[in-house]
C-alpha cells in the first residue's frame, strides 16, 4: 500500500489492488507519479454528482501516450479513511460540485 497526500494534506491510500486495476489500462502505464502529482497539485477538485463520498481530482497533461488529456483520480472519502478508487485519462472534466478552487 502506498500512502499519498492531497493538496490539503489529507492522507490517501493507494492499495496494490487498486493500482493493478488502474494499470490494466495501457495508457496509464508509467503514470503512477502523475497520480500523486494530481492529488498534490490538482487544477480542479469536484464532488461527484452521484456519490457525495467521491472526489474527482483533475490535472491536465499535454503529453500522454494518447495525446493531451486530463488525468482524473477518484478518491473515496469515508469517516476516517480516504483511498483511491481509480484513475483514468479523459478528454474533459466531468460535471460535479466544485470543491476547489472555490472561485475561478
Residue 104 has pLDDT above 70, yes or no: no
Across the range 8-34, mean pLDDT stands at 97
Q: Where are the alpha helices (DSSP H) in the chain?
A: 16-23, 32-40
| pLDDT score at 55 | 98
**What is the reported pTM?**
0.96
Q: Is 102 helix (H, G, I), strand (E, B) or coil?
A: coil
Strands (E), the chain: 2-5, 11-14, 44-48, 54-61, 69-78, 81-90, 96-100
pLDDT in tens, 68-79: 999 999 999 999
Length of the chain equals: 104
16: pLDDT strictly greater than 90: yes
The pLDDT-based confidence of 18 (bands split at 50, 70, 90) is very high
Measured distance CA(11)–CA(60) in Å, rounded: 22
Rounded to whole angstroms, what are the CA distances from 43 to 35, 40, 65, 79, 80?
13, 10, 21, 25, 25
What's the pLDDT at 24? Answer: 96
Amino acid at each position: 500500500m502506498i500512502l499519498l497526500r492531497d493538496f490539503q494534506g489529507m492522507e490517501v491510500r493507494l492499495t496494490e489492488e487498486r493500482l493493478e486495476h488502474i494499470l490494466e489500462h495501457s495508457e496509464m502505464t508509467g503514470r503512477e507519479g502523475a497520480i500523486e502529482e494530481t492529488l498534490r497539485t490538482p487544477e480542479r477538485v469536484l464532488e461527484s454528482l452521484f456519490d457525495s463520498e467521491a472526489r474527482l481530482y483533475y490535472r491536465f497533461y499535454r503529453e500522454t501516450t494518447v495525446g493531451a488529456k486530463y488525468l482524473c483520480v477518484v478518491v473515496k472519502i469515508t469517516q476516517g479513511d480516504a483511498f483511491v478508487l481509480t484513475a483514468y485519462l479523459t478528454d474533459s472534466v466531468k460535471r460535479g460540485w466544485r470543491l476547489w478552487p472555490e472561485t475561478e
